């Protein structure tokens, strides 16, 4: 199995791509601030999941990388709050993205709490 088959990865990738396309509409003045931070943290979720998958024989390393993914996911939620506060996204869009992020967080926490289901010793 590949990390790409993990539901957390698939949903994380979809959210990262949605954020990427969304931020294209942000002002140019935010390119090196909010835009880059939102894109970076959302992509880092997927990156950490991929790394965790390769570390799954080592439970502590597996969990550590998954907690990194969860941290990046939380950071993405923070940037969504800023995008909303700056009026770059409306409340409905923020809520929709927040719910997707929370779902990813639940999947990550399941993986952290049940590493044996993912090939960890």
Report d(CA 59, CA 52) in Å as an integer.
9
Q: With the C-alpha atoms ordered 20, 25, 28, 30, is the resulting torsion angle positive or negative? A: negative
* Nearest residue to 69 (alpha-carbon basis) of 109, 100, 39, 22: 109
Of the chain, the percentage scoring pLDDT greater than 70 comes to: 98
The torsion defined by the Cα of 23, 68, 109 and 81, in degrees rounded to 10, comes to -30
Angle at CA of residue 71, ends 103 and 74, nearest 5°:
55
**In this predicted model, what pLDDT tens digit does every residue of 12-45 receive, in sequence order?**
999 999 999 999 999 999 988 999 999 999 999 9
Q: With the C-alpha atoms ordered 9, 14, 16, 17, is the resulting torsion angle positive or negative? A: positive
**In this predicted model, what pLDDT tens digit does every residue of 62-95 receive, in sequence order?**
999 999 999 999 999 999 999 999 999 999 999 9
CATH of 3-118, one of 1.20.1050.10, 1.20.120.530, 1.20.1440.60, 3.40.50.150: 1.20.1440.60
Please tell me the pTM assigned to this model.
0.94
């Amino acid at each position: 199995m590949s990390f790409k088959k993990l539901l957390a990865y698939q949903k994380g990738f979809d959210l990262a791509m949605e954020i990427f396309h969304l931020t294209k509409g942000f002002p140019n003045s935010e390119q090196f601030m909010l835009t880059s931070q939102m894109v970076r943290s959302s992509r880092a979720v997927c990156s950490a999941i991929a790394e965790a998958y390769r570390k799954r024989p080592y439970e502590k390393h597996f969990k550590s990388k998954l907690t990194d993914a969860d941290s990046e996911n939380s950071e993405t939620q923070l940037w969504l709050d800023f995008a909303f506060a700056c009026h770059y996204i409306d409340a409905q869009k923020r809520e929709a993205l927040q719910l997707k992020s929370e779902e990813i967080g639940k999947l990550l926490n399941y993986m952290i709490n049940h590493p044996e289901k993912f090939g960890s010793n």
